């Protein structure tokens, strides 16, 4: 296990957190030069809202389900499970945010713009850390010493 394990995981998390914001900015800029697709307006507006709520709520559920089998393993298994669960959680949140950005691009419904930003704020607040790992994976004091 590299000594900078959590720094690498946090860097990955930040990249995954800010990528949807970059995509949203691109979609807003490109949408200024295109006409909205009236056929998609109602469908994509509701679908984006539903998928956003489902993505945020299911990300936590899936995260906990991935973590649970690893809690009884050794430190290496716990680190592997934590990393896997963290990446899956980020992917679910990113997918919800991307869908809202695409829905905005197609429909140009401005009420969709705050949703991906809110998801990314939530995602930033959920960033992985050594303390979060220790709390969620029920790591003992002796195991925490090995992480330094």
pLDDT tens digits, 60-107: 999 999 999 999 888 889 999 999 999 999 999 999 999 999 999 989
- Give residue-wise pLDDT tens across range 5-28: 888 999 999 998 888 889 999 999
Other Cβ atoms within 10 Å of 83 Cβ, number: 18
Taking Cα atoms as reference points, which of 76, 61, 89, 95 lies closest to residue 5? Answer: 76
The CA dihedral of 86, 92, 94, 100, to the nearest 10 degrees, is -160
pTM of the model: 0.87
């Amino acid at each position: 296990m590299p000594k900078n394990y959590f720094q690498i995981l946090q860097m990955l998390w930040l990249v995954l957190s800010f990528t949807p914001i970059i995509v949203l900015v691109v979609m807003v800029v490109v949408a200024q030069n295109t006409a909205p697709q009236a056929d998609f307006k109602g469908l994509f507006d509701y679908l984006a809202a539903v998928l956003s709520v489902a993505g945020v709520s299911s990300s936590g559920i899936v995260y906990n389900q991935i973590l649970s089998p690893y809690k009884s393993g050794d430190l290496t298994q716990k680190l592997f499970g934590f990393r896997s669960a963290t990446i899956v959680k980020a992917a679910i949140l990113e997918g919800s945010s991307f869908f809202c950005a695409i829905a905005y691009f197609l429909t140009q419904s401005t009420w969709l713009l705050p949703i991906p930003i809110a998801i990314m704020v939530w995602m930033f607040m959920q960033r992985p850390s050594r303390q979060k790992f220790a709390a969620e994976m029920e790591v003992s004091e002796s195991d925490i010493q090995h992480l330094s």
